[in-house]
Structure 1
Amino acid sequence: MKREGYLQEPPDGGWGWLIVIGGMYCLAMWGGITRCYSVFFSPLMSDFEADYGSVAWLNGMFQAVYGICTVVGPLLMQKFERRPMCLISSFLCGISCFLASFCQQLWAVQVLMAMLVGAGMGIISISVFTTTTRYFKKRLHMANQLLCLGISAGPLLVCPGYQYLITTYGWRGACRIVAGLFLNMTVASALLRPIKLMSDLETPEHLPSTEKYKDKHSSESEEKSKPKRLFDLTSLDAEIVGSQSLGLYTPPVARRNYDVNDNITKSHNRKDEKPISLSSNSSNKLSNSTDENCGTKFKNFCIKYDLTLFTQKRFYLYTLSWTTFAAAFFSASTYIIPYGKSVAGLTEFEASTLVSAFAGGEIFSRIAYAFLFDKIPLKFRILYVSALYAVFSIAILVFPFIRGYIGALICCACIGALGGGTDGIFSAFIAEIFSVQQYAFVFGYSNIITHSTGTATTVLIGVAVDRLQNLSVPFYIGFGAAVTSSILVFLLHKTVMKIRKEKVLLEADDVFLPLKS
């Protein structure tokens, strides 16, 4: 089937590289918020006479709303194009941050700088990743790694930039300048040109073959114009009940299907069939018809919002493996500086350079994966990540036993290099494990689960450190989470390979059946 304007394959470049460049800027701003918003804490505490727990909600509220909007984003994408959504979200971020500089209450600052900015960034991030996936196939991992490079490289410039602006102009002046940086995301959003792929017209493998997967450009008139050859039992029963209520019809023995060309009235003259009265069963048949309609509506609702993902084993393995890895990664990175100063005996400057080494290893891994990961055969990619997480867990476990500055510096660089580029890999795995059509929903649903679990994990680690008075605890917890993630990724590899083998066998027999995982 050919449609004008639809491409057989993603272009693997071209305009897609401009989208990657614009997306890097957007994700650099996102990385600056998540990792550098804390530089606003001290001036906010001084200006509003608040404690650390009160101003810390600035980051927590941002993460919460961001996670929610990554789920809302796919729903909005079904009705609106990604480019205008991102343009509006960019204006929302800029205007909200600008208005926050005039607020005289801390809660108003948090609503504007955290909640509204988080809502805008949630829509922008999922739109950037989804559009990039549609432009690349063979170079998808390269595009995603370059895209995520903004998350790592951005804070290296944004954090000292925020601090300089606050020192020079105060936090209110800094907010107004940062608002201008947010408005620059409108230029990047304008680059998100939509693209039509032939895969949009195909039936996704997670839907039954009997279902019609229609994109928004298809017309329902074709379906209505098709001649119907059979009456189904439900529609025929409705006619029978209506005629029975008027006393005009005595139904025959119920059969499963009635052909249009059959003379139904002949069945009344058969001697071996007895008329059946529907007076006692009409209400039951009407209720059955209503139940079937409700079931159809629920089924269509599940398909529209891709709730079928929650019936797939691979979705849970994918989400849980990424969630446990994120818990390990951030539990280690969050407590590097406190551990270096309190336990390893490092100075404040030396402890801060541990984070720089961590970020340097993260940037190195992204560049390396951008050029090398696509060369790994498809069937070994998930298995490679499983082995990588196993080594990553060992690096986290070793760190608490290191006391020297050079050794801690090297270990932090290794932790960053081993775990830094896997967010780009996992975002590309969505298209490889599931499908391009499912990308937005898998990204959104898994993201909200990961953010919710991550928030709870952060609180639990803080409670454990306070009670045990031991800063090595986060690294032990990170080790356990990383090992768990490695096992889950291995199980994901086994599940995906099984599905792919079944699909190959079905294609060889020229038979299409839904693959249930």
Structure 2
Amino acid sequence: MDSPVKAHRARTAAAAPDGGYAWFILLSCFLVFGLTFGVIKAFGVFYVAIHQYFETTATGTSWITSIAVATVHVVAPVASALSARYSHRSVVIMGGLICSIGVILGAFARNLIELYLTVGFLNGFGYALTWTPTVTMLGLYFEKRRPVANALASAGECILTFVLTPLFQLLIDSYSWRGALLILGGLQLNLCVCGMLLRPLKATRDVTCDKAEEEDLCLELLPKDDSKESKPTHLEAEELGISEASDQGMVKACHEEVPKSTIKVQDSNNRIKRAGHRTKILRYVDYTLITNGRFMVYSMFGLFAALGFFAPALFLVPYARSKGIEEYQAAALMSISAVLDLFGRVFFGWVANLRLVQTVQQLAATVILLATVLLLCPLASTFSELAAFSAAYGLVFGATVAVHITVLAEVVGVHRLGSALGFFMLIRSSGGLLGPPIAGFFIDKMSDYGTGFLMAGVALLVSAMFLLLLHQMNLRAQGSTTKQHMHTDPTGQNSQEVKELDMTRGEENDFCSNR
């Protein structure tokens, strides 16, 4: 049986309209995806210029992107809590301002450390404050069309990667990488506009519920015995007070009972206060998710997948340049990948919406295919071969990203998606932080950018193992649910009898307590 808090949140989140203003939420999420992860994927163009300007190693330059990615993941729970405390709109607007300030300050960096702090940390902090609340709002506004909505929103990453990659190369050639960062900082102010579009659902009252509802939830969180005992103890206290005014002899007779009743009242009040604090904490951060086995297994998938998700996009342009491909042709590879990425997200999001197979099975298949493509990348050396690799990589990557948030919602339920997304990103943060530097370490040792793709492919194969484990856990959970239904009358008469028996016992306990 679900807890009262879960049931309360489920009721408030059940009003997803799947249309109307939901399409403006989708537009906002589309742009947020593009101006956050789209910029991260297109940053490979800056990578070459910064690497040459500071004359550093591949590992040193890759830390800029890895710090930004890790900060997005680490700050995600904070973004979820701030959204619940204040509003999704205000948090996203603040995040957009932080992104813009971070990138503009990065344009004046004098060394790599300052780039780590500005373009890395500050920019990633702003990304977390914009991306997490927007994706959560999208999940609240869509229910039946959620897979398609997630796929269309994430397509913003592909389209803006396609546009920004050659644009960044043009800006770097015209104004140097510093001037290009200044223009990027102004462009990211559009994240504030995306935040203004986030209008909260009228039926959603998770944050604005009144004080009476909080007290009801607190009482429901108490154990049944304690909640039942609280009424008799109050009655006893009142009766003892009346007796004290009317008959002093009765006070002496009941003198020994007063401390006991007072202790019971204080104990019940303390339990109510603890339950109230627990209710408020769960509203902002649902820490009970760490006890959910399926969620933790899926988080381990995210950790290893993050090791391989971000390295290929960062090293594709440098890898092509190392093979003798000219600048704009190398940048065009990212655009080719972005076009096929867009097609993969929309098409496979539509396939997931058909429910032909379980989404976790579809995700496992695409992750294995993505790993295979990355392992074959070092075989490509000419532009045509690299273009074919970019197309294959973009298609399978899009198919993977299209459903991974949908799987998370199925694992924990949409009413816990905000907190789950925050914890999932937090656990995945170490993979996003270490992925590019580990790939850069192998590149420096082997003097070959192809080894970075090999590392990413192996990491994705390991992540697929956790998806297969999650699928087995889902099958076991379905089997146990089926057995429970077999032992229960389909008409629900058995459960009704149990409820009536509990009510009868409760009335007997109340009667005995009053006596």
2:68 pairs with 1:62: yes
Q: Contact between 2:103 and 2:182, CA under 8 Å: does it hold in 1? A: yes
Corresponding position of 2:137: 131
The CA deviation at 1:222 is 8.3
Corresponding position of 1:153: 159
Corresponding position of 2:241: none
User: Aligned to 1:91, which of 91, 94, 97?
Assistant: 97
User: Which structure 1 segments of 5+ residues have no match?
Assistant: 202-213, 240-262, 269-274, 513-517
Corresponding position of 2:301: 321
Three-state SS of the structure 1 residue aligned to 2:358 is: helix
User: Aligned to 1:368, which of 334, 344, 347?
Assistant: 347
What is the CA RMSD across the aligned residues, in angstroms?
A: 4.6
Residues 257-278 of structure 1: CA deviation (Å, up to 9, x unaligned): xxxxxx999999xxxxxx99x9
2:444 pairs with 1:466: yes
1:56–1:180: structure 2 CA closer, same or farther, 3 Å change rule?
same
2:368 pairs with 1:390: yes
Looking at structure 2, the residues matched to 310 and 183 of structure 1 have their Cα atoms a distance apart, in angstroms, of: 35
1:58–1:361: structure 2 CA closer, same or farther, 3 Å change rule?
same
2:401 pairs with 1:423: yes
Q: Contact between 2:439 and 2:456, CA under 8 Å: does it hold in 1? A: no
Q: Contact between 2:303 and 2:430, CA under 8 Å: does it hold in 1? A: no
The CA deviation at 1:61 is 3.7
1:229–1:398: structure 2 CA closer, same or farther, 3 Å change rule?
closer
Residues 436-475 of structure 1: CA deviation (Å, up to 9, x unaligned): 2211111111112222123223323333343345554334
Residues 86-108 of structure 1: CA deviation (Å, up to 9, x unaligned): 22322333355456656778766
Q: Contact between 2:70 and 2:432, CA under 8 Å: does it hold in 1? A: no
1:130–1:163: structure 2 CA closer, same or farther, 3 Å change rule?
same
Three-state SS of the structure 1 residue aligned to 2:407 is: helix
For residue 351 of structure 2, what is the amino acid of its counterpart?
Answer: L
Residues 484-509 of structure 1: CA deviation (Å, up to 9, x unaligned): 22221122122234335555646958
User: Aligned to 1:410, which of 388, 412, 418?
Assistant: 388
Looking at structure 1, the residues matched to 213 and 142 of structure 2 have their Cα atoms a distance apart, in angstroms, of: 33
1:265–1:438: structure 2 CA closer, same or farther, 3 Å change rule?
farther
- Identity fraction in percent: 22
Q: Contact between 2:66 and 2:437, CA under 8 Å: does it hold in 1? A: no
1:454–1:442: structure 2 CA closer, same or farther, 3 Å change rule?
same
Looking at structure 1, the residues matched to 154 and 419 of structure 2 have their Cα atoms a distance apart, in angstroms, of: 19
Task: State the aligned residue count.
Answer: 460
Q: Contact between 1:396 and 1:479, CA under 8 Å: does it hold in 2? A: yes
2:237 pairs with 1:231: no
1:329–1:310: structure 2 CA closer, same or farther, 3 Å change rule?
same
Looking at structure 2, the residues matched to 337 and 216 of structure 1 have their Cα atoms a distance apart, in angstroms, of: 48
Looking at structure 1, the residues matched to 173 and 341 of structure 2 have their Cα atoms a distance apart, in angstroms, of: 29
Whose relative contact order is higher, 1 or 2, with alpha carbons under 8 Å and at least 6 apart?
A: 2
Residues 31-86 of structure 1: CA deviation (Å, up to 9, x unaligned): 34313345456776898x67467765543443343223212011112211111222
For residue 410 of structure 1, what is the amino acid of its counterpart?
Answer: A
Looking at structure 1, the residues matched to 25 and 320 of structure 2 have their Cα atoms a distance apart, in angstroms, of: 39
More off after superposition, 226-235 vs 105-114: 226-235
Corresponding position of 2:415: 437
TM-score by length of 1: 0.73
The CA deviation at 1:346 is 5.0
Three-state SS of the structure 1 residue aligned to 2:29 is: helix
2:196 pairs with 1:190: yes
Looking at structure 1, the residues matched to 30 and 273 of structure 2 have their Cα atoms a distance apart, in angstroms, of: 45
Q: Contact between 2:43 and 2:314, CA under 8 Å: does it hold in 1? A: no
Residues 144-166 of structure 1: CA deviation (Å, up to 9, x unaligned): 11111111221222233233334
Three-state SS of the structure 1 residue aligned to 2:188 is: helix
Equivalences for residues 63-82 of structure 1 within 5 A: 63-82=69-88
Looking at structure 1, the residues matched to 172 and 385 of structure 2 have their Cα atoms a distance apart, in angstroms, of: 34
More off after superposition, 55-64 vs 425-434: 55-64
1:25–1:223: structure 2 CA closer, same or farther, 3 Å change rule?
closer
Corresponding position of 1:479: 457
The CA deviation at 1:235 is 8.0
1:302–1:89: structure 2 CA closer, same or farther, 3 Å change rule?
closer
Q: Contact between 1:317 and 1:492, CA under 8 Å: does it hold in 2? A: yes
Residues 195-251 of structure 1: CA deviation (Å, up to 9, x unaligned): 145xx68xxxxxxxxxxxx76414337847999974369989xx9xxxxxxxxxxxx
Looking at structure 1, the residues matched to 167 and 313 of structure 2 have their Cα atoms a distance apart, in angstroms, of: 21
1:100–1:315: structure 2 CA closer, same or farther, 3 Å change rule?
same
For residue 209 of structure 2, what is the amino acid of its counterpart?
Answer: H
For residue 289 of structure 2, what is the amino acid of its counterpart?
Answer: L
Equivalences for residues 22-421 of structure 1 within 5 A: 22-37=28-43, 39-40=45-46, 51=56, 58-98=64-104, 111-171=117-177, 173-197=179-203, 216-220=208-212, 223=215, 230-231=228-229, 303-304=282-283, 305-340=285-320, 342=322, 345=323, 347-348=325-326, 351-377=330-356, 380-402=358-380, 405-421=383-399
1:30–1:371: structure 2 CA closer, same or farther, 3 Å change rule?
same
1:469–1:234: structure 2 CA closer, same or farther, 3 Å change rule?
farther
Three-state SS of the structure 1 residue aligned to 2:85 is: coil
Looking at structure 2, the residues matched to 44 and 475 of structure 1 have their Cα atoms a distance apart, in angstroms, of: 21
Residues 313-333 of structure 1: CA deviation (Å, up to 9, x unaligned): 111221122332332343444
1:152–1:233: structure 2 CA closer, same or farther, 3 Å change rule?
same
User: Which structure 2 segments of 5+ residues have no match?
Assistant: 1-6, 221-225, 238-249, 497-515
For residue 353 of structure 2, what is the amino acid of its counterpart?
Answer: D
Corresponding position of 2:510: none
Looking at structure 2, the residues matched to 366 and 328 of structure 1 have their Cα atoms a distance apart, in angstroms, of: 18
Q: Contact between 1:38 and 1:59, CA under 8 Å: does it hold in 2? A: no
Residues 358-407 of structure 1: CA deviation (Å, up to 9, x unaligned): 33321220121243321124x62211222222333333333334556544
The structure with more helix, counted as a fraction of residues: 2
The CA deviation at 1:338 is 4.8
2:490 pairs with 1:492: no
Looking at structure 1, the residues matched to 383 and 50 of structure 2 have their Cα atoms a distance apart, in angstroms, of: 33
More off after superposition, 433-442 vs 404-413: 404-413
1:302–1:26: structure 2 CA closer, same or farther, 3 Å change rule?
closer
More off after superposition, 100-109 vs 429-438: 100-109
